[in-house]
Chains A and B, each alone.
Chain A
């Protein structure tokens, strides 16, 4: 509850603060202070000291999994604000408002990690999405950004509609007539028609949100068209929030009859992995390549829904953290450049050795090389799938796709270290030493999680 209330409040503060903040750097400090307060408040609740005792009639349920996920998401957001705080000024004039919108997104995220009824699931997804429609188009003079925003709004509205229809069917179909996800205990018998229909519609609706194929079409255009700062946020924190909601719903309500709908997940996972990875190979812009790669990572995270066991739970949190930290890191580097093409990275190793080194660590982590968080995360989700014991070919397909992933991530690494710089491209990259320090901290986090994943996982069982 702490996180939900404080993020909403802080969003309002940031919004009105825009009127009073004189200097353009002030909003950044307020935002960082806000996220630290939210993080601390969430930790207090995690250790058993909620500040607010609101009777939600059981509609929200704060368990250690959800609160732990909040912590991860807030730490990622903190890193994101610290690394990219300055770059918000590139988007436009209303820096304070952008931060305000992000706090509203975080409010939606906190609801999604603790909802216990389908109504709050819907509410959470809407609170999460609406600020994003605005943020995507926040660079008003950029035509690509406008197109992306419109596309995202239409597609998003469409998918929420489908999701709502699914919720209605589930409500009508279960004998209790209940919205409570833990009450919709369907047993292990055959799926009734209404429930089955509702389940498929919900699956489609959330697949849109996590950009799983074949509902991924908006993702590359939106991630590519939105300002780089915003796409970094959308690809990471927003996407993992949708995944946690997905996982929560499916494990609680439909887990018992998992093997009746597992095949749907199998198809979605296989399609997502193949489309994301193969298309990413042919991209010339690193930003767009990362957009496709984010689809492929969604494919890996789908494995947790496929397996729905304890390892999957651990794997989801680990993957969320590993993927978010690495993506935020690599985007922080990209944003400092003016040319996003792969050639733009040529010779970065000579121009900016430290930036290059950290970028390579982030890319290695996204590839899934041991000793980086990306490896332990992939290892856990694959282990969850193997433990489930069904459809092992899917796991083999996943590792083949991971090898394809190496192709496009290593293109960038090759450009950074083995090619000579192109004159006139990305010549002036100015970064402060505090930025460099933060990048090193981010890279260190990646490596730390790479050989001690227990630091993160153990808290689930706190």
Chain B
């Protein structure tokens, strides 16, 4: 069986990494596209198979399919350790699931130097996978940065006119954040007990969980880690890079950035901040949650007045993530369970939204809401898809977000009623901006632009159909996901209470 020779997390990293390196040498645009698509499907297959081996409690041998450790730098107590737990399964699946859809939905797009483009896309995937599976702090940092470099080149090389400056701002923000986190990692490392006899300290995640940190040290370590993750998510006021980058970049990169890379931030908070610095979390959670909720309301208000579809999606994404990050810091069982579900749902919804925007821009050549009107008459199928996706974004019952946002708000309510109140206002605002966007672009009288619109391709139709099915499925039957991540949530909460 697959897992017995090579563990799943290794395969999830090495398949995109190696195919990414190979892709550089495929000069033909058509072949490299097909190659990248096949590679991402292979990763998806591995990820789906791995989901059959999650039940470690019933089958202890499954642990060895999902965890592995190689000697890497024994003299400083770091090893190449990767492993999958409930949250890891969920997010690696989201990554593996998104990539084929991204490649398929943008299959018709043309790129200069397609080989470099697809190579960088696959390398980004390897980096993201690495972040989700690393169980060694130094390795985590390696992958954290390795995901950043290819996406930097992707966004700077292919995109709008002002892409270089916008992406560079993003790069410097995240690079500074990660370096601060590096200082934090080193500091925690110096306070760990040895696991192996070779080194005085250890980078393994369990050593980090048991590190002896006073509450005074936690106070400032918390911020070193938090800034790195807050820039990635992004949490208000670290969000300023996001709308510019989303506006200027090419669609596949934006889909990766907004669908997957923001999850790296949320994942980082749950995996690294909550269990390692519980005292500091208890101290600062009100402040951080207030920032998140301010971000939610602020971004929703700005989204109301956006004319550019890409900026519109960017701001709506900031709003949703504000609610999600607030729920993370509420840190009770309901809210964390909601966050787990929301990470998957947000990935699916925003991917679907980007695909719709991409189709609109390809069909009509514009993405200004004011210039679009009555697209529904020309493309009824797209209109139906968009309405369902919009409903999912405003968390209507039966759509996937309903379950997750309900859980998160429940958790917030348990924590502090006012956060829940403002969170709900945020959801109402999301209904306002989402529906008004749908109404202004798709309904009303068809204008010249809409008359000249081209048809949506079959591939894009299939991708959107798959996403809509996922939206409805998760809205009706979210149980598998909750079951999958239950163990992670209880684990994190017990680690927080132990300290």
* Interface of A toward B, CB cutoff 8 Å: 364, 368-371, 375, 379, 382-383, 386-387, 389, 392, 395-396, 399-400, 402-403, 406-407, 410, 414, 417-419, 451-454, 457-458
- A371–B142 alpha-carbon span in the complex (Å): 7
Shortest CB-to-CB span from B187 to chain A, Å, is 5
Tell whether, in the assembled complex, residue B187 and residue A403 are in contact, meaning their CB atoms are under 8 Å apart: no
Shortest CB-to-CB span from A452 to chain B, Å, is 8
Tell whether, in the assembled complex, residue A379 and residue B182 are in contact, meaning their CB atoms are under 8 Å apart: yes
- A410–B170 alpha-carbon span in the complex (Å): 13
- A419–B165 alpha-carbon span in the complex (Å): 12
- Is B213 among interface residues, defined by CB-CB distance under 8 A? no
* Contact A414-B164, Cβ < 8 Å, known A370-B145, A382-B186, A386-B187: yes
- Is B238 among interface residues, defined by CB-CB distance under 8 A? no
Shortest CB-to-CB span from A316 to chain B, Å, is 16
If A369-B149, A379-B182, A395-B183 are given as contacts, then 8 extra A-B residue pairs at C-beta distance below 8 Å, sorted by A number, are A379-B186, A396-B180, A396-B183, A399-B180, A400-B176, A406-B171, A417-B156, A417-B157
- Is B73 among interface residues, defined by CB-CB distance under 8 A? yes
* Contact A458-B75, Cβ < 8 Å, known A386-B187, A418-B164: yes
Shortest CB-to-CB span from B229 to chain A, Å, is 16
Tell whether, in the assembled complex, residue A399 and residue B183 are in contact, meaning their CB atoms are under 8 Å apart: yes
* Interface of B toward A, CB cutoff 8 Å: 72-76, 141-142, 145-146, 149, 153, 156-157, 164, 168, 171-172, 175-176, 179-180, 182-183, 186-187, 189-190, 224
* Contact A403-B179, Cβ < 8 Å, known A370-B141, A454-B75: yes
- A379–B178 alpha-carbon span in the complex (Å): 13
Chain B neighbourhood of A383, CB < 8 A: 76, 186, 189-190
* Contact A418-B156, Cβ < 8 Å, known A370-B146, A399-B176: yes
- A370–B143 alpha-carbon span in the complex (Å): 8
Chain B neighbourhood of A389, CB < 8 A: 190
Chain B neighbourhood of A364, CB < 8 A: 149
Tell whether, in the assembled complex, residue A402 and residue B179 are in contact, meaning their CB atoms are under 8 Å apart: yes
Chain B neighbourhood of A452, CB < 8 A: 73
Tell whether, in the assembled complex, residue B168 and residue A410 are in contact, meaning their CB atoms are under 8 Å apart: yes
Chain B neighbourhood of A458, CB < 8 A: 75
Tell whether, in the assembled complex, residue A407 and residue B172 are in contact, meaning their CB atoms are under 8 Å apart: yes
Tell whether, in the assembled complex, residue B145 and residue A369 are in contact, meaning their CB atoms are under 8 Å apart: yes
Chain A neighbourhood of B164, CB < 8 A: 414, 418-419
Tell whether, in the assembled complex, residue B175 and residue A406 are in contact, meaning their CB atoms are under 8 Å apart: yes
Option from A368, A369, A382 in Cβ contact (under 8 Å) with B183: A382
- The closest CB in chain A to the CB of B152 belongs to A410
- The closest CB in chain A to the CB of B75 belongs to A454
Tell whether, in the assembled complex, residue A403 and residue B176 are in contact, meaning their CB atoms are under 8 Å apart: yes
- The closest CB in chain A to the CB of B187 belongs to A386
- A406–B171 alpha-carbon span in the complex (Å): 9
Chain B neighbourhood of A375, CB < 8 A: 145
Shortest CB-to-CB span from A314 to chain B, Å, is 9
Chain B neighbourhood of A399, CB < 8 A: 176, 179-180, 182-183
Option from A387, A410, A417, A418 in Cβ contact (under 8 Å) with B190: A387
Chain A neighbourhood of B157, CB < 8 A: 417-418
Tell whether, in the assembled complex, residue B73 and residue A382 are in contact, meaning their CB atoms are under 8 Å apart: no
Tell whether, in the assembled complex, residue A382 and residue B146 are in contact, meaning their CB atoms are under 8 Å apart: no
- A369–B145 alpha-carbon span in the complex (Å): 7
Chain A neighbourhood of B75, CB < 8 A: 454, 457-458
- The closest CB in chain B to the CB of A314 belongs to B75
Option from A387, A392, A403, A454 in Cβ contact (under 8 Å) with B175: A403
* Contact A417-B146, Cβ < 8 Å, known A382-B183, A386-B183, A454-B75: no
Top 6 closest A-B pairs, CB basis? A399-B179, A403-B176, A370-B145, A370-B142, A386-B186, A383-B186
Tell whether, in the assembled complex, residue B156 and residue A414 are in contact, meaning their CB atoms are under 8 Å apart: yes
- A333–B75 alpha-carbon span in the complex (Å): 35
- A399–B178 alpha-carbon span in the complex (Å): 9
Chain A neighbourhood of B74, CB < 8 A: 454
- A76–B141 alpha-carbon span in the complex (Å): 29
